Structure 1
Amino acid sequence: MSMASFFNQRAPKKASSKDDGDRKARMPWVEKYRPKNLDDVSSQSHAVTVLKKSLHTSNLPHMLFYGPPGTGKTSTILALAKQLYGPELYKTRVLELNASDERGISIVREKVKNFARLTVSNPSKEDLAKYPCPPYKIIILDEADSMTNDAQSALRRTMETYSGVTRFCLICNYITRIIDPLASRCSKFRFKPLDNTDALTRLTYVANEEKVQYEDGVLEKILDISHGDLRKAITFLQSATKLHGVAEVDADGDISIDEQGGNNHESSKITVTSVQEIAGIVSDSTLDEIVTAARTHDFQVMFKLSKKLAAEGWSATQMLDQLHDKLILDDSLTGTQKIHISFALNETDDKLSNGTDEQIQFLNFLSKLSQVL
């Protein structure tokens, strides 16, 4: 075999449009439908309005995005960066670090500082014709509240020194965990939980694009379970779609899922019950069974129930969350009873957060609930 034919055999095949289509079809929907520009960002009108003006002036301050998960913080800054630089220049002008990376002081001193001090690359004529291409880079530090105080202290000096060629965007869930000297150097943007109208519009768009069949009230139930987290809502929708799909085996033995269930659309419709099952929501009948067991004041009954619930795989945290709403909103209970129940819920939740055994802690809560009732 000649050397030329050897390299011809090793040459990578050019990706076809069919391969690109298959790759896109396999993408998680949260990535597939991530906003491509600021106009696609749902609900966060204040942040979007201010950032759109920065597109025209190309003058961007250091930024601090904070708010609950799934409200569009990372998507917004990525969409802004793509509109500023375009797909080609974006690769060399934007550095994104997540909490999955090491976030100690060494990363700030090495990786962040080295990227911040780099000279800005020159844009091509094509990029300049289509995008603003401002003369600075952007460093995105996702989940910045997980950084150590030493790392944050080192970061503030880097932000000052290289502000001429680099802008920083800090993203966090809890702004109180960002040290004051760092927060004062940034323009703050609060991302609030998505209201049901905007979230429902986006979720309906995703469902229509994927041709998902669902019963009335399904999308509203998904949003109710997600508590304003659009990322979680879209993930639940995709999971429910897979659950109601029809599995097929092709000639190569690979399993594929027809998410519309072939021609039998009625059988493949997503139901409220299936959404609750996917989300791990405890049924009302199970909650009633828990309260009834507590009212018996029989430890053996409560022990058997806690063992049964653990065997069925129910999350103790989820059960406590739903019991909170059920008991605190129960008009038949007195104010004093609700106070004692709240203390018991708080204590149990705290112990579960510290990694204690779920069955034992739930049994302990049942015994305290029994004393209150």
Structure 2
Amino acid sequence: MRLISLIFAMLSSAVISHSVQAESEQTMAVANELLAAVEKVTSEAIHSEEEFNKSLTDIQPSNAAEQLLVYYAKGVIAYNRVQLHQTVTYLQQANALVEELPEEMKAQSPYYHFHKVLSDAYVALDNYQYGYQHKRKYLIKYAEEFDNKDKLLLASLESKYQVKQKEQLNQLLIQQNKLKQVEIKQLEQKKSVQERNTIILICIGIVFMLMIVRQLKVRQKLKWLSSTDTLTGLRNRKSLFEASNGLVREALDNHLPLGIMVIDIDHFKEINDQYGHQVGDVVLKLVAKLGQEVMRSRDVFARLGGEEFVAVLPEADIDSVNAIAMRLKDKIAQEPQQVKAHRISVTVSIGIAQLSEKVPNFDALVKSADEAMYQAKQAGRNQVVIFNSASN
């Protein structure tokens, strides 16, 4: 009986030592009415700057965060009205306020979303350099926000599991105390009590093993969530960079070729605007499925963010990468795709690059292939462009 009590004491101590503590951070106060008005603008419930200003009659922006949201909303209204130069003016004013935000707000929605609209406006104005720069900033903040949400989810799940584990252990302790009372009152039945205790110990061992198995399954699920894009089932940005950096090191150490392709769905914003985000999600899943069919078993295929995908192809020279990219482009564009009740023509623009002295690491590979992809967009979309270091 003393041994059983010692086991429960050790288990209780281990559970308590792993409790999760939340940290609180201060942020700028933003009026709920302003957030609601911005949401109406992005969902196109508000169509003009006059309507937006009218919704803010009782609100006076008092800090950088609120001023940024006002410029962002006005920029979206101008973009929806195809007033591209006005869009750039408003969103550059929003960009100028970013440095005044607390660090924790810079990667929170919607305070970085203006980069996406600003990128689209620059691309529409044929300024692909600024379009690329702001698209990259948007994707970096998107990835930071996604990582932060993953961490919060992980902490929440672990906390809930530990609370449940404590309750189960407390129930076991209560049961043990009852057994002790029975032993004191029924000394004449010592043998039967000992047999009963043996059975209880076995049950405790089974429960403990079941708890361990459950914990392992939870951890395995959390690990999968932290490395997978939940919409497409592909690797996410974090998993992509971890796996690809290893492949690059291996290629450099063994003097092996390695190629990369950046894939971007053409006119994806128009698909979302015309058919809705649910159809857009189906298109993303479709491109992910066709990409998996084309890729080799050793290739790394991941969703970088938004409508962009990345494929890393070890032991593949530039001709092999180009052939696979062409096959993927043709497979997607082969015929209109049936998406729910709509038949949609889906095409992609692909930029490819290869590991070399001028492109010596994974970050440089992604940047080079991304530049080639924007050249494919500029060339009319539904194109495959090879990165040329001499011309860039």
Q: TM class by shorter-chain length?
A: 0.3 to 0.5
TM-score using structure 2 length: 0.31
TM-score using structure 1 length: 0.32
In terms of fraction of residues, the more helix-rich structure is 2
State the structure with more CA Rg.
2
- Of the two structures, which has the highest relative contact order with CA contacts closer than 8 Å and spacing of 6 or more? 1
